[in-house]
Amino acid sequence: MKKWIRRSGLTLCLLLCLAVLLVCSSDSSLGRWTYYTPETVEFNGQEIEIDSSLERSELEEDSFSLEEDGMLTYSGEALYGIDLSAHQGEVDWAAVAASGVDFVMLRAGYRGYSTGALAEDSRFAENLTGALEAGLQVGVYFFSQAVTAEEAEEEAAFVLALLDGQALDLPIAYDWEYITYDDARTDGLDAETVTACAAAFCAAIEEAGYDAMVYCNGELGYLNYDLSALEGYEVWYAEYADSPGFAYAIAMWQYSSSGTVNGIAGDVDLDIWFVPEEAEEE
C-alpha cells in the first residue's frame, strides 16, 4: 500500500510539472523558463485580453501636441483632415483647402436604423465634386445598419454605384454603430454578426478595386469586432482624447467632433491619417 501511495504521489507530481510547462513559454534570450501571462488593457472597467496575433499600435502619447486652435499635430508623417456629411450644410471647399486641411472623408450614404432603407447623403455628389476641385485627398464612408452579411454587401454595391468608378485617394470606410433607440433594428445584434457584416462589406469594396477600412470606437474594437477576422483592412479609430489609446494599429484617428474649420459652419469631426511607409516612399 505504501509503495502504491508513493507511486501515486510521484505521478501526481509529474502531472503538475507538465501542467506548469504547458502554461510557460521559453525565453531563449535569457535562457530560462518564464510564465506566460496574457497582456490586457483596461476599457470601461473591464480587463480586455490583447490578441497577440494582431499588429500593435506604435503611437506614443508624447508624439501628439495640442495647438492653440484646438487641433492636434503628430510628430511623425501624417495628413490632417475632416469627415462630414449633409449635417454640415453647404461647404466652401476652397476655404477648407486654404485652411490647411489635407483630406476629407465624405459620407456617401446610410441605412435607416429603423426602416432599413438605403439612402444617399443629400450632399454627397456636391461635396465630392467640391472637395476634388479644391485639390483635397478624398475618401468616403457609409453609415451601416446592416443586420446580415447580405445587407452589408448590398450597402457596398450601393456605394460603388454612387462612385461610378470615381478614383479615390483614401479608402471606403464601413461605419457600423450601435443605436440605442427602441426602434433600432440593430438593437442586440451579436458580435459575430457585426463582424460578418464588416467583413462582407470590405471584401466587396476591395473586389471592386478600392481600399476598404473599418471605423470603430473602443467598444466596437474591443468588445464587438473580431479584429482577427478583419485583418488586412485598415482601422479608422474614434476616440476624443489627446492621443489614441487603442492597443491595435490604426491608420486614421478621429480625435474630435467639435472642430472648427474655415468654410464650414458649425462643428466638424477632425482626423489624422498616419501616412504608411509605402505612401511616404511614393
List pLDDT tens digits, range 165-177. 999 999 999 999 9
Q: Tell me the sheet residues that pair with 79.
A: 273
Q: What is the pLDDT of residues 40-81, one digit of tens each?
A: 999 988 999 999 999 999 999 999 999 988 899 999 999 999
Banded model confidence at residue 31, pLDDT cuts 50, 70, 90: very low
Q: How far is residue 30 CA from its own chain's centroid?
A: 37
Characterize 128-150 residue by residue with b for buried, 16 or more Cβ atoms within 10 angstroms of its Cβ, and e for exposed.
Answer: bebbbebebbbbbbbbbbbbebe
pLDDT at residue 254 greater than cutoff 60 = yes
Interval 213-224 mean pLDDT:
97
Banded model confidence at residue 275, pLDDT cuts 50, 70, 90: confident
- The pTM is what? 0.85
Q: What are phi and psi of 221, to 5 degrees?
A: -65, -35
